[in-house]
Structure 1
Amino acid sequence: MTIDSNCVFCKIIKGDIPTSKVYEDDHVLAFLDISQVTKGHTLVIPKDHHTNVFDLPEEASKHIFSVVPKLATAIKQTYEAEG
């Protein structure tokens, strides 16, 4: 796993910054945003560091986007989120 010590998301993945974890597997971490715009606002990030979405390998993108619909459904039900 690639980690950047200056990256806030890498610090979250390492556990240096506490989060309200919603989902985690070997490749992805999902957690509630600390500055939620709406109820249930969740961030889904790869556990491997990438500078931006354009650097994300295709397999990582596929995995993230396979997880998102399941999370969205659970968050909508749990938080009565509008979408």
Structure 2
Amino acid sequence: MGTSLLAEVSGSLGAVGYGLAAIGPGIGVGLVFAAYIQATARQPESAGLTRTYLFLGFVLIEALALLAIAFGFVFTTTQGAGS
């Protein structure tokens, strides 16, 4: 009967790391859009002003997500070079 293998992790763990890192920006974008919708519903005349803040917040959050995927590739390649 020998040794039975229950689970084996193979492939790039950088993809798993980015998957975990994408949870934060996903929640952040949801919060930013929810706040914009709520602000516009409360005061429709301020939609133009708050739209600027909406896009600014969205861009900053997505920039962090892009940094996370870039660091995932950087750490994956540097880790494989030393082995």
Could you say which TM-score interval applies, normalised by the shorter chain?
0.3 to 0.5
More helix by share: 2
Instruction: Tell me the TM-score normalized by structure 1.
Output: 0.34
Higher relative strand content: 1
TM-score, scaled relative to structure 2: 0.34
Asked which structure has the greater RCO (Cα within 8 Å, sep 6+), the reply is: 2
| Higher radius of gyration, 1 or 2 | 2
